[in-house]
Structures are given as C-alpha cells and as structure tokens.
C-alpha cells in the first residue's frame, strides 16, 4: 500500500500537473491560432472597456438579467465555484504538503470552513445532478459525459471528507482522494471543465460585440 501511495503522490501527481498545465496552454494557444486564422475581424472591435465590464458584471451575483430570473441556480452556482476553487488551494493539509515539498506556504482555511465548503461542493453537485434529471430543457442537452464530469468534480471532495474523518480504510481512501484529484486536473483542459479557461475570453468577446457593435449591454 505504501508503494502505491508513493507512486500516486509522486510520479503520477507530477504527470497530472504536467498534463494539466500543458493541456491548458495547448487549448489556449490553439484557440488564439484559430481566431487569427479564421476570424481576424474580431480584433477590430475587441474593447478592453467592454470586456472588463462584461467580466465584472458576470462575476457578481444577480448582476445580470439571466441570474435574476434563476435565483436558486445563481446562488448554488456561485457558492459551488467559490468553494471549488478556494477549498483545495487553501486547505491546511494541502498547504502543509506544499510547504514540506518546496518550503512555500500561505494562509489556510480554518478546518471548520474547509469542511463546510467541501460539503457545499458536494451538495451543489447533487443540485446540478437533479437539475439535469428533472429539468426538461437541461435534460434535453445532457449526455452521459455530463454525469461523468459531475462525478469527477464531486469525487475529490467526497473522498476528502472521508479521509478527514478517517472513515473506512484511511490509506485506500487517501490514495483514492489523490487519484480523484489528479483525474480532475487531467480532465480540465480536455472536457467541458475547460470553461474555467475560456469563460473570461468568452465574456470579453461577448462584451465587446454587444458594447462595440450592437451598442447594447450583454446582460
């Protein structure tokens, strides 16, 4: 078991980070090359002012008309994304591992907060699952891959909670926790999770088009 842990937390972790970083760079560069090759006209109306306006507005809860029309989804989505990003970055156990490896550390979340935020991610995944199962409009555009992605996102937080409380087999759960995190990292550049990379670019494009071409707000 120790040798499996050493492999998963060592070489496999490095491979996951390399694929994640390389994949993100590849997707972003590929997008820029495609735009330059086929849609150069976009550059003519890209505006820093309208881009930032759109990004800022869509980063604020209930700032847009669409958010106000779906209050429950807005609250869950914002809570989900905030906890999804902050929890692994500021979790005490993760920061401790980084400090032990590279002698770098930063501010960490109180344990109670980290546990609550992990539960929020898990519950939000359950909300998104039910929405895909019962909402006809969402169900129509849902495929099997969407359910797999929900499982990929939820798995590191579910196993993290189990590891924290040391339920069942601690060592095997720790290995599964690390593996699930690595799977999520690898999946980000090559699945719909890549919207974390493209969302600011999409908002910049939409904001510039609506503001500079249509002379309207994109909310």
Q: Over the stretch 135-193, which tens digit does the pLDDT of each residue have?
A: 999 999 999 999 999 999 999 999 999 998 888 788 899 999 999 999 999 999 999 99
Domain of 54 in residue numbering reads as 2-213
User: Is 65 within a domain?
Assistant: yes
Residue 12 falls inside a structural domain: yes
CA atoms 146, 147, 150, 151: torsion sign: negative
Predicted TM-score (pTM) of this structure = 0.89
CATH code of the domain containing 202: 1.20.950
Using DSSP, state whether 47 is helix, strand or coil: coil
Residues in the chain: 219
- How many whole angstroms separate alpha carbon 200 and alpha carbon 132? 25
- CA 69-201-91 angle, to 5 degrees, is 80
Residue 43 is predicted with a pLDDT of 76
Given a contact cutoff of 8 angstroms between Cβ atoms, the answer to whether 42 and 36 are in contact is: no
**63: which residues sit within 8 A by CB, 6+ positions away?**
57, 219
Q: How many domains does the chain have?
A: 1
38-81 confidence digits (pLDDT tens)? 877 777 778 888 889 899 988 999 988 889 999 999 999 999 99
Let me know if residue 198 belongs to a domain.
yes
164 in a structural domain = yes
What pLDDT is attached to residue 90? 94
32 within domain boundaries: yes
Phi, psi of 20, deg, nearest 5 = -60, -55
Which pLDDT belongs to residue 122? 97
Any domain includes 137: yes
From the list 211, 207, 154, 162, the residue with the least C-alpha distance to 183 is 154
Residue 53, domain member (yes or no): yes
> Is 219 within the bounds of a domain?
no
């Amino acid at each position: 078991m120790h040798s499996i842990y050493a492999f998963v937390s060592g070489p496999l972790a490095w491979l996951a980070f390399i694929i994640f970083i390389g994949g993100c760079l590849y997707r972003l560069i590929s997008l820029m090359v495609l735009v330059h090759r086929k849609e150069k006209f976009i550059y003519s109306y890209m505006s820093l002012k309208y881009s930032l306006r759109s990004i800022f507005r869509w980063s604020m809860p209930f700032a847009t008309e669409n958010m106000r029309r779906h209050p429950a989804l807005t609250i869950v989505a914002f809570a989900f994304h905030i906890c999804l990003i902050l929890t692994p970055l500021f979790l005490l156990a993760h920061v401790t591992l980084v400090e032990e490896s590279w002698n770098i550390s930063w501010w960490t979340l109180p344990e109670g907060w980290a546990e609550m935020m992990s539960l929020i991610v898990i519950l939000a995944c359950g909300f998104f699952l039910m929405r895909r199962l019962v909402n006809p409009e969402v169900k129509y555009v849902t495929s099997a891959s969407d359910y797999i992605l929900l499982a990929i996102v939820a798995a590191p937080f579910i196993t993290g909670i189990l590891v924290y409380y040391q339920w069942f087999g601690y060592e095997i759960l720790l290995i599964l926790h690390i593996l699930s995190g690595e799977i999520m990292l690898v999946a980000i550049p090559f699945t719909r999770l890549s919207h974390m990379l493209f969302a600011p670019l999409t908002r910049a494009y939409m904001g510039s088009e609506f503001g500079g071409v249509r002379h309207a707000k994109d909310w």
